[in-house]
Amino acid sequence: MSFPEILVGIFEGFRITAAVVFYGLLFAVPFALVFGILQHFTRGILRFLVTAVIEFWRSSPVIILLFVFYYALPIFGVVMSAMTVSALVLGLNIGGYGSQAVRAALQALDPGQVEAGLALGLRRSRILLLIELPQAIAMMMPTLMNLVIQLVKGTALVSLVTLGDMTFRAKEIAQIEYNPVGIYSGLLLAYFIVCYPVTVIGRWLERRVGVGEGQAHGL
């Protein structure tokens, strides 16, 4: 097979890769927001429990989590599809990192804004939703786009639970064509082709929300 044919064969798995990223974000975004906010506001034993959940997903190797959720949990009667396991594990792993970005952004805001909101008679929840979160999201934008790219790259592991993603297709081609250098170079190029537009979109979003260089790197 020629290199263009190898690349086309690899991209036959793009639909699965994109689906894992999409469904993974459905797990990652709510997890990051909820647990980042909880870690920022809670104290004592509740904060310890919230942190423990975050660190479990953030610190556990993704490959081990995939095997445990897909191959071990069915022993106890918990059966999930390969797509569900992949999206859940990758999403919550990235969500764990995202929660720290949320917490750090909230802590970086001027506390005087909260005091001003309370003085105007706003409830604490409305101050969070209307004043703090919009600013925090703008500050987090560079970090969040990096995490999306990490999620895309993490999909290279889902072939281990039988999903036919781009890495799975590359392995299939490698079993037919003895050209590992060409095949895995094609796979490398395929992931670059997928990730680079995410980087471009991220920079565009940074400009749209007005994230300054100093502010972005200060986070």
| Per-residue pLDDT tens digits for 67-123 | 999 999 999 999 999 999 999 999 999 999 999 999 999 988 888 888 888 888 888
Q: Considering the domain boundaries, does residue 10 fall inside one?
A: no
Q: Considering the domain boundaries, does residue 170 fall inside one?
A: no
Provide the pLDDT confidence category of residue 211 given band limits of 50, 70 and 90. low
Rounded mean pLDDT, 133-147:
88
Pair of tokens at residue 62:
């993704």
What whole-number distance in Å separates Cα of residue 90 and Cα of residue 157? 9
- pLDDT for 192: 95
Q: How far is CA 203 from the centre of its chain?
A: 17
Q: Considering the domain boundaries, does residue 184 fall inside one?
A: no
What whole-number distance in Å separates Cα of residue 40 and Cα of residue 99? 10
Q: Considering the domain boundaries, does residue 24 fall inside one?
A: yes
Q: Considering the domain boundaries, does residue 104 fall inside one?
A: yes
Q: Considering the domain boundaries, does residue 182 fall inside one?
A: no
Provide the pLDDT confidence category of residue 219 given band limits of 50, 70 and 90. very low
- pLDDT for 142: 86
Q: Which of 114-118, 164-168, 184-188, 206-210 has the lowest mean pLDDT?
A: 206-210
215 has pLDDT over 50:
no
What whole-number distance in Å separates Cα of residue 135 and Cα of residue 1? 51
Name the one residue in this structure whose structure tokens are 């044919």.
5
What whole-number distance in Å separates Cα of residue 141 and Cα of residue 202? 7
Q: Which of 140, 165, 154, 148 is nearest to 199 (CA)?
A: 148
Q: Considering the domain boundaries, does residue 190 fall inside one?
A: no
- pLDDT for 210: 66
The count of domains in the chain is 1
Q: Considering the domain boundaries, does residue 196 fall inside one?
A: no
- pLDDT for 86: 96
Long-range pairs of 4-9 with CB within 8 A, sequence gap ≥ 24 = 6/173, 6/177, 6/179, 6/182, 6/183, 6/186, 7/186, 7/189, 7/190, 9/169, 9/172, 9/173
- CA-derived radius of gyration, the chain: 20
Q: Which residue has the higher pLDDT, 90 or 130?
A: 90
Contact 173, 13 (CB under 8 A): no
Rounded mean pLDDT, 150-163:
92
What whole-number distance in Å separates Cα of residue 138 and Cα of residue 185? 36
Long-range pairs of 52-57 with CB within 8 A, sequence gap ≥ 24 = 54/96, 54/99, 54/100, 55/96, 56/96, 57/31, 57/92, 57/93, 57/95, 57/96
Give me the CATH number covering residue 33: 1.10.3720.10
Q: Collapsing DSSP states into helix, strand and coil, what is residue 128?
A: helix
Orientation of helix 14-41 relative to helix 133-154, angle to 10°: 140
What whole-number distance in Å separates Cα of residue 153 and Cα of residue 218? 25
Contact 132, 89 (CB under 8 A): no
Q: Which of 115, 99, 111 is nearest to 37 (CA)?
A: 99
Residue 118's domain comprises: 15-163+212-218
